[in-house]
Structure 1
Amino acid sequence: MTTTTTAVTLPPGPTAPRAVQGAYALTQPLRGMRRLKERYGDAFTVNVPIFGNAVVISDPAEIKQLFTSGPDLVDNLEVNLGRVLGPHSMFALAGDEHKRQRKLLVPPFHGRRLAAYEKIVEEETLRELESWPDGKAFATLPSMMRITLNAILRAVFGAEGAEFAALRELLPPFVTLGSRLAVAPISKKGRFNPWRRFERMRREYDAIVDRLIAKARVEEKDDVLSMMLQTRYDDGSGLSRDEIADQLLTLLTAGHETTATTLAWAVERLRRHPALLEELKNGDGKLLDATILEVQRTRPVIDLTARQVKQDGYRLGRWTLPKGYAVLVSIALIHDDDAVFPHAATFDPHRFAGARPDLYQWIPFGGGTRRCLGAAFATMEMTVVLRTLLRDFDLVPTAERGERWHSRGVAYAPAKGGRAIVRRRNTGGAA
């Protein structure tokens, strides 16, 4: 079957001007997607700022075809997160260069390396849990942010120091601002705009990383930065300073906020399912794994993963798309589809008991050759944090309605920060 043809066939969609559609997308992101699906079906055409002309899909077969199409047909968006993470970030690279760098960056976050990071994550979790109030309501998202930030900093740079402390202070506002700028159609022109502040913070980050690289070149350590300095392309050359700086920023940001937000959602979901909490008290690791999968299905913190058409007449399922169009996969829409996940509106981790999800249908990490590089690290991190929390604390259930979705820019968080009331168990542990 050919994958290209000449006639263009697009799904239906709204005809309002781009600015109007953009305002709707910004003010009604998730609800708007669901309404568009109700009106136009599981594929529709939109015209919005940043993406421009785009087709949104949520059909499993079309998503699988998109994820398995080669870079000659579809590849990275021309406008992407490289705007905030740098031109050498994995989010910015395309084609052979993306494949080349991805091959170098996979080893530090897979296999036996994960076992070494588990201890770091547990130590940071125990440290943070010591501050949790007993019997008083509080938002867990700030705690999860500190755990994941400290864990990724230690994994990337090793032992703490002055630069570690500087990055710990700089990164939270840096990530927050960058996340908002990534989805806002704000020009970089003009003296007074948010990009100026972002660029000042980026220069501060670069200066810190330069000092860390200089130290790593003379010290023998077993952290991600040291591995990046030692790794080599097939031709024997190494990563440049700019490549290292951009990739480190990608690891620090992408491996921090999204994982913390999912953990806050996990707390929010568990408190509203007391029977599940009781089941988890016996330390059932398989049920905990299934719970994490179901949290990511029902509360994906990123709603869209995207490609851009590189050839005229790209045939995608029922549609034939012109060159330059973006294809946006709505993660929430396929995760909410009863035909894919029966009784999709029901939070039920048992649906994953004894079975791994189809990675073309369960897609919180995206898919295909651009699937999140740190997916295994994030899964390990969530497992360790929740296992430690459920071992040392009882989460007090609640009959309150679920927290609404709140956009933090790129990620969607629980509006009240994943509020919890906990009772400390007398375990004799450090927590």
Structure 2
Amino acid sequence: MTTVTLPPGPSSPRFVQGAFALTTPFRGMRRMRARYGDAFTVNVPIFGRAVVISRSDEIKQLFTAGPDLVENLQPNLGRVLGSGSLFALTGEEHRKQRKLLVPPFHGRRLKAYEEIIEEETVRELASWPEDRPFATLPSMMRITLNAILRAVFGADGAELAELRELLPPWVSSGSRLAVMPIPQIDLGRWSPWGRFWMARRRYDAIVDRLIDKAAGEDLDERDDVLALLLQSRYDDGSPMSRDQIADQLLTLLTAGHETTATTLAWAVERLRRHPEVLSELVAEADAGGDALRQATIVEVQRTRPVIDLVGRHVKTDGFRLGRWTLPKGYTVLVGITLIHDDESLFPNARAFDPHRFLDAKPDLYEWIPFGGGARRCLGAAFATMEMNVVLRTLLRDLTLTPTTEPGERWHSRGIANAPAKGGRAVVRRRNSPPVPPATATVAGARS
């Protein structure tokens, strides 16, 4: 028999630990690390018995372990995105699907999407009010939704108008339901799950119509993801089924929408509280550069990660993970905020300082907003490019007014963690007449 070796942790009942995790998600994790060390064992609803780790060598070992040892975290978004979603697939099926989905989001394809993103950003920024505070998160949601819809489905049309209406509330409810028990009976419109499934059936019908339309077109002339998936083939020459295409497109739409928009809202929130960085970014954008802007995107994701936990499910008894030996059925959770706060990796870690990434790319086992290993976010390159284009356009067209207000608190939207006030901004068009600066807007950089 293999001897199980687990890190220490609280002994309180599962419901008590669950309540603690829900009411103090970030402070609670930090308190646990302060008390038990960089790894600890918890027992919480949904995940059950789990080990939380935050050391880069153990994270690397977890992310590089084979699917015979660990698999995707359970439960996951596959519960709401469909059985054909990358989140739901494991082993060889996951590898095969991921191989088909990589080409649309890399290389020259990314360049083709830049113009779409800039167009959507310019359109949305034109609606922003001047000289009064407003939440930017809804705007960022519209930009990223419209951009990913156009990248996935191509040109505008009646179906895309339907999806624009359907998807935002569907994503919002899905991110909350993803960690809730699935009922055995469909109560239709009388329950959250019933309404969720009704919207999913409506989505499937829209995608069916889009596939029918695409079948009558020259797909070689199209750059959108739907056209590429319709042309893609597995190693044995077989095409993806309609259900598989619908599930994967929904995965791309949801994963490439809310998290990117939320990070952009956090970027606005951070930059308004760090006027020196903001001033440097404006000067760099005017000069046509982007090094500091890219570093800023990395630092926003380090200090305000939208997803706080990623993990794996242990499939075999006696799984050795660094100092620990874990039994089958355990969950391993990677504390993203914990490792991003590690002073040994990021000196003065609580400070917002993009300059730390100007001359050094982040280590992908220490900076993990996109997860890691074979399940690292497929759209990481697309999301990074999109954030870069949106921020470039914002800095070029608008003046973002700094503030001395305290930083916005974290607010859970189910899966994603957003600024509680929506990343509030005060802006002016850069071609507008200048106004006298407020007396207390240029404060020192604050975390």
Q: TM-score, normalised by structure 1?
A: 0.96
Q: Deviations over 1:197-246 (max 9, x none)?
A: 11111111111111111111111232100100100001000111111111
Equivalent of 2:82 in 80, 86, 92: 86
Contact 2:70-2:313 within 8 A present in 1 as well: yes
Matched, 1:342 2:343: no
* CA gap 1:382/1:53 in 2 versus in 1, 3 angstroms: same
Contact 1:60-1:334 within 8 A present in 2 as well: yes
One-letter amino acid of the counterpart of residue 410, structure 1: I
Q: Distance in 2 between matches of 1:186 and 1:217?
A: 36
Name 2:444's counterpart in structure 1.
Answer: none
1:57-206 aligned at under 5 Å gives the runs 57-185=53-181, 187-189=183-185, 191=187, 192-206=190-204
Q: Deviations over 1:4-39 (max 9, x none)?
A: x81100111112222222222222222211111111
1:17-416 aligned at under 5 Å gives the runs 17-185=13-181, 187-189=183-185, 191=187, 192-220=190-218, 221-282=222-283, 283=285, 284-416=289-421
Name 2:440's counterpart in structure 1.
Answer: none
Superposition deviation, residue 81 in structure 1: 1.1
One-letter amino acid of the counterpart of residue 424, structure 1: R
Q: TM-score, normalised by structure 2?
A: 0.93
Q: Deviations over 1:107-129 (max 9, x none)?
A: 00000000000000000000001
Q: Deviations over 1:77-131 (max 9, x none)?
A: 3422111111111111111111111011000000000000000000000000100
Q: Distance in 1 between matches of 2:138 and 2:112?
A: 25
Contact 2:116-2:150 within 8 A present in 1 as well: yes
SS at match of 2:41: strand
Once the two structures are overlaid, the 10-residue window that deviates more, 410-419 or 38-47, is 38-47
Q: Deviations over 1:153-188 (max 9, x none)?
A: 000001111100000000000000000111234645
Contact 2:186-2:193 within 8 A present in 1 as well: no
Superposition deviation, residue 257 in structure 1: 0.2
SS at match of 1:413: strand
One-letter amino acid of the counterpart of residue 204, structure 1: R
Q: Distance in 2 between matches of 1:35 and 1:405?
A: 17
Q: Distance in 2 between matches of 1:48 and 1:189?
A: 26
Contact 2:72-2:90 within 8 A present in 1 as well: yes
Q: Distance in 1 between matches of 2:62 and 2:330?
A: 13
Q: Deviations over 1:268-307 (max 9, x none)?
A: 0000000111111122310000000000000000001110
SS at match of 1:128: helix
Contact 1:77-1:308 within 8 A present in 2 as well: yes
Q: Distance in 1 between matches of 2:229 and 2:8?
A: 46
Contact 1:125-1:147 within 8 A present in 2 as well: yes
Name 1:12's counterpart in structure 2.
Answer: 8
Q: Deviations over 1:339-368 (max 9, x none)?
A: 111110010000001211100100000001
Contact 1:188-1:195 within 8 A present in 2 as well: no
Contact 1:49-1:185 within 8 A present in 2 as well: no
Q: Which runs of 4+ in 1 moved over 6 A?
A: none
Superposition deviation, residue 148 in structure 1: 0.1
Contact 1:76-1:308 within 8 A present in 2 as well: yes
One-letter amino acid of the counterpart of residue 199, structure 2: M
Q: Distance in 2 between matches of 1:20 and 1:420?
A: 38
Q: Distance in 2 between matches of 1:80 and 1:374?
A: 18
Superposition deviation, residue 189 in structure 1: 4.1
One-letter amino acid of the counterpart of residue 207, structure 1: A
Contact 2:109-2:223 within 8 A present in 1 as well: no
Name 2:428's counterpart in structure 1.
Answer: 423
Contact 2:75-2:179 within 8 A present in 1 as well: no
SS at match of 1:338: coil
SS at match of 2:52: strand
Q: Distance in 2 between matches of 1:410 and 1:184?
A: 12
Q: Distance in 2 between matches of 1:194 and 1:34?
A: 33
Question: Where does structure 1 lack aligned partners over 5 or more consecutive residues?
Answer: none
Superposed CA RMSD = 1.2
* CA gap 1:100/1:215 in 2 versus in 1, 3 angstroms: same
Name 2:438's counterpart in structure 1.
Answer: none
Q: Distance in 2 between matches of 1:148 and 1:233?
A: 30
SS at match of 1:183: coil
